[in-house]
Structure 1
Amino acid sequence: MKKTLLILIVFSQTIRAQVNVFDRTYFSYEIEDGLAKNQFGPSAAATMYSLQGDYLNAVFLSEIDVSWGMDTVDMSQCIFTSAYDRILKYASKHQVVIISEAHLKPQHRIFAKKLLVGLKELGFEYLGMETLSSLNNDNDLLDTLIHKRGFPLNSQITGGYTLEPKMGDLVRQALANGYKLFAYEYTQPIKGVDRDQIQAENVIRFLKKIGSKKMVIVCGFHHVIEGGMKKRGTQRWMANIIKDSLGIDPLTIYQDNFTEKFISEEHNVLNKGGITEVSVCVDDKSNIIKWRQEVDIEVIHPKTKFVNGRPDWLKENPDYKEVDIPVDSITMEFPMIISAYIASEYDKGVPLDRVELKSKYVLKPLILSSGDYVIELKNLDELKTFNITVK
Structure 2
Amino acid sequence: MAIRAPENRPEHGVEVPVSIPPRPLAAMIALALALGLSAAGQEPRPDRDLPDPFRVKKEQVEAGNPLARYVELKRLRPRYLESPMWKPMYPEIELMFEEFLGDPTAGPRGLDLIYGDLKLGPPPEKSPIDACRPAEAAGAILDAVGDRRVVIVGEEHHLPQTRVLMEPLLRGLRGKGFRYFAAETFHREIAATQEAGYPTSKTGTYTADPVFASGVREAIRLGYRLVPYESIPGPDVPAAGRQSARESGQARNIKGRILDEDPHARVFVWVGRGHALKGSLGPDKMMALHLKEISGLDPFTVHASRHVEAIRPEHETPLYRYAAARRLVARPTVFVRRDGRPWSEHEGFDATVFFPRVKLERGRPDWMARDLGRIPYPIPPALLKGKGLRLAQAHYEGEPDAAIPVDQVPIRPGQEVPALMLPRGKLRIRVVDEDGSVSGPVSVEI
**Alignment length (residue pairs):** 369
Say which SS state the counterpart of residue 134 (structure 2) adopts: strand
The question of whether the paired residues in 2 share the 8 Å contact of 1:99 and 1:254 is answered with: yes
Match 1:200 to one of 229, 248, 251: 251
Say which SS state the counterpart of residue 55 (structure 1) adopts: coil
Q: CA deviation at 1:147?
A: 2.6
The equivalences for 1:214-229 within 5 A come to 214-227=266-279, 229=280
The question of whether the paired residues in 2 share the 8 Å contact of 1:128 and 1:215 is answered with: yes
Please state if 1:340 is matched with 2:394: yes
The question of whether the paired residues in 2 share the 8 Å contact of 1:55 and 1:104 is answered with: no
**Which piece of structure 1 moves more, 143-152 or 46-55?**
143-152
Structure 2: any 5+ residue segments left out of the alignment? 1-44
Which residue in the other structure is 1:311 paired with? 365
The question of whether the paired residues in 1 share the 8 Å contact of 2:308 and 2:316 is answered with: no
Q: CA deviation at 1:149?
A: 1.9
Identity of aligned residues (%): 23
Which residue in the other structure is 2:349 paired with? 295
Q: CA deviation at 1:55?
A: 2.5
Please state if 1:86 is matched with 2:140: yes
User: In 2, Cα distance between the equivalents of 1:12 and 1:71?
Assistant: 45
Say which SS state the counterpart of residue 290 (structure 1) adopts: coil
Q: Show CA shifts across 1:34-73 (max 9, x none).
A: 544435522201211111111212321236669x999868
User: In 1, Cα distance between the equivalents of 2:370 and 2:399?
Assistant: 21
Which residue in the other structure is 1:210 paired with? 262
Match 1:38 to one of 54, 75, 80: 80
Q: CA deviation at 1:110?
A: 1.9
User: In 2, Cα distance between the equivalents of 1:357 and 1:160?
Assistant: 23
Partner amino acid, structure 1, of 2:199: P
Which residue in the other structure is 2:438 paired with? 383
The question of whether the paired residues in 1 share the 8 Å contact of 2:182 and 2:229 is answered with: yes
Partner amino acid, structure 1, of 2:246: R
Which residue in the other structure is 1:163 paired with? 208
The question of whether the paired residues in 1 share the 8 Å contact of 2:304 and 2:354 is answered with: yes
Which residue in the other structure is 1:257 paired with? 306
Q: CA deviation at 1:160?
A: 1.5
* TM-score for the superposition, normalised by structure 1: 0.85
Structure 1: any 5+ residue segments left out of the alignment? 1-10, 135-141
User: In 2, Cα distance between the equivalents of 1:29 and 1:125?
Assistant: 40
Q: CA deviation at 1:240?
A: 0.8
Partner amino acid, structure 1, of 2:300: L
Say which SS state the counterpart of residue 54 (structure 2) adopts: coil
The question of whether the paired residues in 2 share the 8 Å contact of 1:368 and 1:390 is answered with: no
Say which SS state the counterpart of residue 124 (structure 1) adopts: coil
The question of whether the paired residues in 2 share the 8 Å contact of 1:96 and 1:216 is answered with: yes
Q: Show CA shifts across 1:175-206 (max 9, x none).
A: 00110111101256363262112111111212
The question of whether the paired residues in 2 share the 8 Å contact of 1:133 and 1:159 is answered with: yes
The question of whether the paired residues in 2 share the 8 Å contact of 1:45 and 1:61 is answered with: no
User: In 1, Cα distance between the equivalents of 2:268 and 2:329?
Assistant: 27
User: In 2, Cα distance between the equivalents of 1:273 and 1:262?
Assistant: 19
Which residue in the other structure is 1:174 paired with? 219
Which residue in the other structure is 1:6 paired with? none
Say which SS state the counterpart of residue 201 (structure 1) adopts: helix
Partner amino acid, structure 2, of 1:128: A
> Considering only aligned residues, what root-mean-square deviation do their CA atoms show, in Å?
2.9
Say which SS state the counterpart of residue 378 (structure 1) adopts: strand
**Which piece of structure 1 moves more, 100-109 or 172-181?**
100-109
User: In 2, Cα distance between the equivalents of 1:57 and 1:195?
Assistant: 28
Q: Show CA shifts across 1:249-269 (max 9, x none).
A: 000001122122235233312
Q: CA deviation at 1:26?
A: 3.8
The question of whether the paired residues in 2 share the 8 Å contact of 1:372 and 1:387 is answered with: no
The question of whether the paired residues in 2 share the 8 Å contact of 1:131 and 1:159 is answered with: yes
Please state if 1:128 is matched with 2:179: no
Please state if 1:152 is matched with 2:199: yes
User: In 2, Cα distance between the equivalents of 1:237 and 1:320?
Assistant: 35
User: In 1, Cα distance between the equivalents of 2:122 and 2:190?
Assistant: 39
The question of whether the paired residues in 2 share the 8 Å contact of 1:258 and 1:270 is answered with: no
Which residue in the other structure is 2:166 paired with? 112
The question of whether the paired residues in 1 share the 8 Å contact of 2:190 and 2:228 is answered with: no
